[in-house]
Amino acid sequence: MVGWNKSLGLFGIVLIGIIFFSSCINAQELSLNVVLDNQGGAIVLGIADANPDIAGIDFENKSLSGFTQDLTIKQGANWIFNLNSSQLYDDYYVRISLPVTAKLLSYSGTPVISSDQGLLVLEFSGKDGLNVNLVYTLEDIPVQVNWMNVIVIVILILLIAAVIILFLRTRKGKKEVLVKRVIKKKESKLASIRRILNQRENLIIDILIKEGRRSTQGRLQKLSEIPKASFSRHLSNLAKKGIIIKEGSGKLNVVKLIVR
């Protein structure tokens, strides 16, 4: 009788162990990491013993991954996040990271709330059916002006403008110097020619310059008061040297100063 009781007790212990071991083997678990962006999109990564059937999320070899916008809806200024599954779990864990500008308004259950690198984080855990809900809004980030950067940019713009102005002035100055050199060169040519002319020939050139570089032969002879015979000879000499040209005939001859 004692042996029978011992055998029955041993059988009971083995049976309880088998039941406990079976329950451990068949335990359904779920672990998810969800990151929400400011457009309502959700990046989901995790592992699960059974597929929770989350829209837009792939399940393969007990791994969950993907991006979906089916978990959030927008009502006015508020975003509503729902993560539900009819699959029963002995244990589930869900970690949700909200956008940087998120302000939490309400949530289901009693999650652990913390902050991770500026992100608001909610951690849900439980068992049986997965049912995680929360409501949040996104606040506008005030624009912060870095006045030091603004000052640096303004200084750079002014420096660039000053360089451009200096370049244009230098270029203009070079052009003016070049024009003056050309004019001086041309004036120097006439001046050098006049050094080899006699007094009367220089007088004729002076009168032509005063007359606008051209005059009739008769008027030119009258203004110079040079005798006609000598005057004609001086004109011929000037023409041979390429200083003047004569057009027409007789007293109507027009004398032009062509050297500048």
Q: How far is CA 189 from CA 182, 243, 259, 260, in A?
A: 11, 11, 8, 7
Q: 228-240 and 199-210 are packed helices; what angle lies between their axes, rounded to 10 degrees?
A: 80
Q: Which residues of the chain have pLDDT under 50?
A: 2, 4, 8, 20-25
* Tens digits of residue pLDDT in 3-15: 545 554 555 565 5
Q: Nearest CA to 32 among 130, 172, 170, 133?
A: 130
Q: Which domain holds residue 158?
A: 145-196
How far is it, in rounded angstroms, from Cα 221 to Cα 171?
A: 47
Element (H, E) at 11: helix 2-25
| Same domain membership, residue 104 and residue 79 | yes
Distance separating alpha carbons of residues 192 and 201, to the nearest angstrom: 14
pLDDT in tens, 125-154: 988 888 899 999 998 766 667 888 889 899
Would residue 4 count as lying in a domain?
no
The whole-angstrom separation of Cα 99 and Cα 116 is 11
Whether residues 157 and 120 share a domain: the answer is no
Find the helix or strand (DSSP H, E) in which 80 lies.
Answer: strand 78-97
Mapping DSSP onto H, E and C, the string for 83-116 reads EEEEEEEEEEEEEEECCCCEEEEEECCCCEEEEE
Q: Please tell me the distance from the alpha carbon of residue 6 to that of residue 8, in angstroms, as a whole number.
A: 5
Together in a domain, 104 and 31? yes
Per this entry, what is the length of the chain?
Answer: 260
Name 215's Cβ contacts closer than 8 Å, sequence gap at least 6: 207, 208, 223, 254, 255
C-alpha torsion angle, residues 131, 132, 133, 139 (rounded to 10)? -170
Question: Of 138, 171, 187, which closes a domain?
Answer: 138
Closest CA to 242 of 202, 192, 193: 193
Q: Give tens-digit pLDDT for 98-107.
A: 998 999 999 9
| Same-domain pairing of 48 and 74 | yes
How is residue 208 written in tokens? Answer: 């032509």
192, 202: one domain: no
The phi and psi torsions of 75 (rounded to 5 degrees) equal -125, 105
Q: Residue 15 has what pLDDT?
A: 55
pLDDT at 21: 47
Q: Residue 94's pLDDT is what?
A: 95
The answer, as to whether pTM is greater than 0.85, is: no
Counted domains in the chain: 3
Q: Assess whether 126 and 46 both reside in one domain.
A: yes
Q: Are 42 and 36 in contact (CB under 8 A)?
A: yes
Fill in the DSSP letter of residue 117.
T
